[in-house]
Amino acid sequence: ILNVEQSPQSLHVQEGDSTNFTCSFPSSNFYALHWYRWETAKSPEALFVMTLNGDEKKKGRISATLNTKEGYSYLYIKGSQPEDSATYLCAPIGNTDKLIFGTGTRLQVFP
């Protein structure tokens, strides 16, 4: 069973600040990791699917890196905006072939 940890649990930043979160998981038996953004009153929305060690993905001001050997992924937001406020979920997939979601990092960006 994969134990997925996300940190910090919550984060408050000012508009324009850059920020990053961490997703940690057991490095063995792994083959992909998903990142999702979950805004209040909406459904989770896929940001990235990452499958390779050293993989880097970017979508606008948001980017993510993956280190499968040490078992972590970072999500970066450059120049945070109030509309970035959401819970960010990571979900690695191990040998069970199912997503195991972390509890998320709740980001609030103040104008």
| Residues at the interface with another protein (CB under 8 A) | 4, 32, 34, 36, 42-46, 49, 51, 89, 91, 93, 97-104
Q: Smallest gap, in angstroms, from Cβ of residue 111 to another protein?
A: 27
For residues 15 and 45, which CB has a smaller minimum distance to another protein in the complex? 45
Q: Which is nearer to another protein, 18 or 28 (CB)?
A: 28
Nearer to another protein, 77 or 91 (CB): 91
CB of 68 to another protein, least distance (A): 14
Q: In whole angstroms, what is the distance from residue 97 CA to residue 99 CA?
A: 7
Residues 6+ apart with CB under 8 A from 64: 35, 47, 48, 50, 56, 57, 58, 73, 74, 75, 76
Closest CA to 106 of 90, 91, 87: 87
Distance, in Å, from the CA atom of 41 to the CA atom of 93, rounded to the nearest integer, reads 26
Question: Which H or E element spans position 73?
Answer: strand 72-77
We find the least distance from the C-beta atom of residue 78 to another protein, in angstroms, to be 22
We find the least distance from the C-beta atom of residue 19 to another protein, in angstroms, to be 20
Nearer to another protein, 13 or 44 (CB): 44
